Amino acid sequence: MDLDILKSTAMAMVASGKGILAIDESHGTCTKRFEALGVECNEDSRRAYRSLLVGAQGIEDYVSAYILFDETLRQETEEGIAFTKVLADKGIIPGIKVDKGAKDLALHTGEKVTEGLDGLRERLLEYFELGARFAKWRAVIAIDRNENLPSRACIVANAHALARYAALCQEANLVPIVEPEILLDGDHSIEHCYEVSVEVWNVLFDQLREQGVELQATILKTSMILSGKSASQRADALQVSQMTLKGLKEAVPDELAAVVFLSGGQSPKESTLHLDLMNKAGALPWPLSFSYGRSIQGPALEAWAKNPQAISEAQEKLLHRAKMNALATLGKYDPSIDD
């Protein structure tokens, strides 16, 4: 492990005024998103769509790193240029999703544990050779008040796997993004989400420390603290930003390299506004940025699905969302110029 290399990669991933774009959907997730818009999902359609995302000119002004899926890390544009080269030529750092997905947790109905540790050391060596400089592992935690979820077993199992993954990444000089996503589904209150989020973060940082993971070279990718999607009274944007900041300050160590958010079902504008309000609230111990998938890609994907030939129209939509979020990392987003 070379801590200096890891720290400088982590710093570059959240350079001032920039964030991370997630385009690492597995084939299953990509199929759902494409088919919902009437597009067949196959290797060629994924290449065409991701060429548009990777090739958008000027995105490097707003985005410092892309999270890719295994196929994309090895794929070339229609002109035969490796996606990793297109990104590296723009100064964008390529990274790779390395988990093998969330599987049912034994003896815990309704809960998942993320798998993928077997053979990970060898896969990470190959990913580094292919140009990746960071990795991502996503754990999912469901809240269900009636069933008393999440269980402690689910939180600990996922945090332990995240910590073992992060240690393997650092050994291979890849910056680990540790992503415990607390799902938006449910009718829980924002206060309940706060309690669960703080517990998950506390257990995660205990596990990371126990495995000897260097926090200065680790990035937390997290959900925001939100009311459940079907809660009768959902907290407003100011409350979301205040509760999320309060929870993060309580549980996240100052030495962590950065905190970035997933969008997790928030609308594009909501996710931008929430990030902006948090960055307007004053100085924080860590950079606070975005690592959105759906909320940055959404409008571009819809435009492309409607007309796959209108590449520049879709790219303009992508650039617009990237720019709005870049402004939000600086607390300079103005919703009145966002349409």
Q: Footprint of ligand 13P on this chain (CB under 6 A)?
A: 22, 24, 138, 179, 262-264, 292-295
Write down how long the chain is.
339
Q: Which of 278, 283, 287, 270 is nearest to 324 (CA)?
A: 270
152 vs 289, beta carbon nearer ligand 13P: 289
Q: What residues contact 132, with CB distance under 8 A and at least 6 apart?
A: 68, 73, 84, 94, 95, 96, 174
Per the CB < 8 A criterion, the answer to whether 324 and 333 are in contact is yes
In 10 A of CB 191, how many CB atoms?
11
The nearer residue to ligand 13P, 111 or 179, going by C-beta atoms, is 179
What are the residues whose beta carbons fall under 8 Å from the beta carbon of 219, sequence distance 6 or more?
10, 13, 14, 134, 175, 176, 177, 178, 256, 257, 258, 259, 260
Please state, in angstroms and rounded to a whole number, the distance separating the CA atoms of residues 24 and 333: 26
Minimum separation from the CB atom of position 66 to ligand 13P (A): 11
Residue facing ligand 13P at closest CB distance: 293
Do residues 63 and 322 lie in contact, with contact meaning Cβ atoms separated by under 8 Å?
A: yes
How many CA atoms within 13 Å lie on the side-chain side of 288? 26
Shortest distance in whole angstroms from residue 272 CB to ligand 13P: 12
Nearer Cβ to ligand 13P, position 70 or 109? 70
Other Cβ atoms closer than 10 A to 186: 20
User: For 150-172, b where at least 16 C-beta lie within 10 A, e where not — what string?
Assistant: bbeebbbbbbbbbbbbbbbbbeb
How many of the other CB atoms lie within 10 Å of CB of 295?
25
Active centre residues (catalytic):
179, 221
Q: Report the sign of the C-alpha dihedral through residues 275, 291, 133, 252, in that order.
A: positive
We find the least distance from the C-beta atom of residue 88 to ligand 13P, in angstroms, to be: 21
Q: Supply the minimum distance, in Å, between the C-beta of residue 153 and ligand 13P.
A: 22
The half-sphere exposure of 277 on its side-chain side, counting CA atoms within 13 A, is 18
Q: Identify the H or E element spanning 53.
A: helix 43-55
With respect to ligand 13P, which residue has the nearer C-beta, 3 or 37?
A: 37
Nearer to ligand 13P, 46 or 138 (CB): 138
The smaller minimum CB distance to ligand 13P, of residues 138 and 323, is found at 138
CB 138 to ligand 13P: min, Å: 4
> CB of residue 15 vs ligand 13P: minimum separation in angstroms?
19
Min dist CB 149 to ligand 13P, Å, is 20
Cβ-based nearer residue to ligand 13P, 210 or 234: 234
